[in-house]
Amino acid sequence: MFLRCCALAVALCLTGIGAQSGPEADLVTYLPGLAENPSFKHYSGYVEAGVGKYFHYWFVESQNNPSTDPVILWLNGGPGCSALEGMLSENGPFHLRDDGTVYINPYSWNQVANVLYLESPAGVGFSYSTSGKYATSDPEVAEDNYEALQNFFTKFPSFLANDFYVFAESYGGIYGPSLAQLIVSNPGKINFKGMGIGNGMTSYALNDNSLLYFGYYHGLLAESLWTDLNQQCCTEGSCNFYSSSNTNCQNSVNQALYLIQDVGLNIYNLYGQCYGGAPMNGYAGRYAADMSNLFRESGFSFKPLEEVSIPGNPRCINGTAMYEWLNNPNVRAALHIPSSVQSWELCSGTVGSLYQRTYKDMTWFYQVLLQQDLQLLVYNGDVDMACNFLGGKWFVESLNQQVVSQYQPWYYQDQIAGYFQQYQKITFMTVKGSGHMVPQYKPGPALQMLKNYLANSY
């Protein structure tokens, strides 16, 4: 065994593969359920993120050229949900079958980039705080993410010169821009080139208002209800479904929300089946977190949440394989997770319930970023209802950037994959037929989208 390890080390040196290196203690040398080791290096461990806070990361080197390919930070949302969902079911190289076996994802984003998956904030996934206190807020998470990022590059200094991008999903629409603003406020430390936000929460008001339009034009609302909504919530062509004080408007909005969210549709993918079937047989975790982002200002209530057998498992999505695999002691050991760290959940109910939402509109952050030499991307799966594409489109339009190219289709394998419009320094893009998690629902187009973005060629 010793001779074989020495031979491997010599081979790495001779081939130059070891030029980009990370901490050997964090190097993952095997994964339970994976038939053979991958061709690329990957690391799992911890970076400090604020006093007594330790964020778990999983970093995969590029399958192409780690030394020159960009570094992408991937953040999931919630708030309180794990970026390992991105790793294991979206754009990561390792995906799970229901029987616990692992296979290589042919559409992994590490085909063209080094990708860092960060479980944030403390209390999410395998991340923890030594104080055991998990109340946090938007500004605090941004500060913690920034410190974690700096400490990551301290661990991996050879990647500091690579182009760096932030990609975030869902409530990551808050995490991403707030972190990016801190990065640009401290120039020269990180080679920051841009940001991509997928089905992100960018404006509570626009997301909520657009959801009613989305529901009506997708055939979910009766014509009579739509007429009532327009009569009671709209004046002079402007509708306020979000925070109207009109009782009749509120009642009509409640009826519409019931038909959109409470009758058994898959909120993340209108045309997808709901895992577990309808009517709902309990919903928790990320679904609860995502629903708590909608219509917060208007006092509308939703059905009580019930616990399901897998903690933190969202309604309509099968997260059982991730839960069971990541809590396998052998997997935890392979990923260097101390035995004292809590069991992994897709979404932490503790973090979600204690979380203090501070930013209701991300316009200011985008205005700061648009003043920099960056390329921004806002993309939406067009059948998602948690953060629908209309809200994303309206938000980008509200930034009043100069139009560079008109709204038009983009393609994947000679088929229309969605539509995009380019503005100065920012692009809005849809992914046709995709739900909330674009790399999961449309993995091929998602990888093509990333390649287009990095090349700034759509």
- Cα separation of 331 and 88, whole Å? 13
Q: Residue 11 carries which side chain, given as an amino acid letter?
A: A
- Cα separation of 391 and 379, whole Å? 11
Q: Are 155 and 26 in contact (CB under 8 A)?
A: yes
- Cα separation of 348 and 82, whole Å? 8
Phi-psi region for residue 50, left (φ > 0), alpha (ψ -120 to 50) or beta?
left
- Cα separation of 62 and 267, whole Å? 33
Closest CA to 258 of 286, 233, 221: 221
Work out whether strand 403-412 and strand 415-423 pair parallel, antiparallel, or are unpaired. antiparallel
Distance of CA 108 to the CA centre of its chain: 15
Helices (H), 158-202: 172-185
Hey, which bits of 137-237 come out as E strands?
164-169, 192-198, 234-235
Which residues are part of the catalytic machinery? 170, 384, 436
What Cα–Cα distance (Å) separates residue 213 from each residue in 210, 358, 389, 393, 398?
Answer: 5, 26, 11, 13, 18
Contacts of 14 (CB under 8 A, 6+ apart): none
Q: Are 347 and 289 in contact (CB under 8 A)?
A: yes
The two three-digit tokens of residue 234, written as one number: 């709209």
CA distance between the termini of the chain: 49
Contacts of 288 (CB under 8 A, 6+ apart): 305, 314, 347, 349, 352
**Collapsing DSSP states into helix, strand and coil, what is residue 208?**
helix
